Structure 1
């Protein structure tokens, strides 16, 4: 009997020791668990755990629990956070060239955008974060961005005049809306809903995946399906954490991140198929820009396009446009 008890105690101690030795991996992201960020995080965790067993203990921090996106990225650089999923908005602060993907109306559709990101151009862009203490392991996705506001419908550039519109801390987006006559207001995501409620800003722009999961219908009246910018995001691991992994575990994290990105794309596809109707059913005034209306906005953006060509290179913009 004593031997059985001793064996049981020994077994529990061994199991406890194994759990205690598991390396904690904190994954922080801006939106709620039920968002596309949560879908990507959970798929990333599930795939990585399947390959690594109990060596890692993953802990999710959704809803900006670890701070805004820039703060979380700085946490990765310091090694206080191991992983994150981040929108493209703040990434130009680290790798300015990635801003090329934020040029308005650059991508024809989802197939075009995904082909660019999954191809040589997107793959090479991910490598540029290595010099900044960040390992970009995969592309995720948010979808095409649309405009919501409380002032009125948007059908022409004139409708944007003076509109106080929250944007990400993204110089490409800011330049575009300034050119269109709006009053872009860079703001970290955790502050946006309260700013909309208080009327500090008139509106914001985001993909349907964000608009729906964040229930922006509760604080916004008008939704314009403008599709003005494609919004990717990136799954990152801290270089400090990464350098301590074996080659086998690095591959597991990388493959897991790819699965996370695919899960985000699946979530976005569903949001694109159902989100506009869901917002309409929730009481929003929903309108979609016609091809002619989009062309009018693109024409008004001509000065910004000249600036983008100087910043990113006309050749790169053409290479992206030529991807089939």
Structure 2
């Protein structure tokens, strides 16, 4: 019987974990993420490369970092579980993956909450009042150490194979792939679309075969995923911006020396800055960003007045889902985020 590469990799990691003894255990951080390993093609690739370099040099080799890009160890939520179980030490995860373990991540999905990327950088950060509240709550509920919090690559745009999105009515009937987030599904549904939740690994094929008419993602992700090969239209909606959450197994982190923890924390902070920077560069670059997508796709921006109509419909729908799914605690977290946005914008 053939064993899948993902199952084989996870089995090998489990065996390594069981065989390690205190006397001979090597401090190795197995760091997984969904995206390409090139630091110039994805923000998580940049983060992983910077983290590896800084940790290995900063600890003089007492900690080794092994990278597992491109979802090699399984789906996002599966790898998070591996980190919780101690089979993998760390993972940079999408909101969709995190939501299976910590549903409060859905508060980020309030449409049109963030006015610009500068405000995103200030609020979606472990150093912000909201970031500290969010990370503490996530850690309390999952047992995971939060190493970093940043955007998933920029504001979301909507691509599809049918027509340009000029008004909310243009979304009517379109099957739009979403992450498995009720808030994303509510956004699409409120605007007349048909939400089609699918794992990341299935998105390209779904767009290619017509299982989904379109999808929504930041421009850098649309570019490196080559969705321009299977989509005709790209509409710059900037309707939502979701986080990537970087976590580590708490027991592993606690088992490091104080000096090693300081290096890991510092390396993660610098790596997050690198991830943000490469996302902005990719967005603007002629060969990887919006200019590249414009070579194959018809790109259109939506006037602010029309976007306000989008927001008037979508915001109440998403707030209702947050209240239904997360209760008063969710509304409290959402309002803390909105208050932090108001403070810094």
**Structure 2 CA distance, aligned partners of 1:236 and 1:315?**
24
Return the alpha-carbon distance in structure 2 between the equivalents of residues 168 and 302 of structure 1.
18
Cα distance in 1 between the residues matched to 2:26 and 2:315: 54
Tell me how far apart the structure 2 counterparts of residues 128 and 50 of structure 1 sit (CA, whole Å).
32
Residue 266 in structure 1 maps to residue 266 in structure 2:
no
Aligned to 1:10: none
How many Å separate the matches in 1 of 2:243 and 2:292? 23
**Do the aligned partners of residues 182 and 256 (structure 1) sit closer, same or farther apart at CA in structure 2, a change above 3 Å counting?**
same
Pairing of 1:75-90 with structure 2 (within 5 A): 75-90=82-97
Q: Which runs of 5+ in 1 are unaligned?
A: 1-19
For residue 48 of structure 2, what is the aligned residue in structure 1?
Answer: 41
Given that 2:55 and 2:65 are in contact with CA atoms closer than 8 Å, whether structure 1 keeps it comes out as: no
Name the CA distance, whole Å, in 2 between partners of 1:128 and 1:69: 20
> Which of 116, 121, 138 is matched with 2:123 structurally?
116
Say which of 282, 286, 303 aligns to 1:290: 303
1:217, distance to aligned residue in structure 2 (A): 0.9
Q: May I ask how many residue pairs the two structures share in their alignment? A: 304
Q: CA deviation at 1:271?
A: 2.2
What corresponds to 1:23 in structure 2? 27
Of the candidates 245, 249, 253, which is equivalent to residue 242 of structure 1?
253
- The match for 1:280 among 287, 294, 297 is 294
**Structure 2 CA distance for aligned equivalents of residues 235 and 89 of structure 1:** 13
Q: Which has the larger radius of gyration?
A: 1
8 Å CA contact retained: 2:123, 2:341: no
Do the aligned partners of 1:76 and 1:239 also contact (CA within 8 Å) in 2?
A: no
Mapped to 2, the partners of 1:223 and 1:40 lie a distance apart of 27
Against the structure 1 CA distance between its residues 237 and 223, is the aligned structure 2 distance closer, same or farther, given a 3 Å change threshold? same
Q: Which of 237, 244, 247 is 1:233 aligned to?
A: 244
Structure 1 residues 149-158 or 233-242, which shifts more?
233-242
Contact kept, 8 Å, 1:143 with 1:232, in 2: the verdict is no
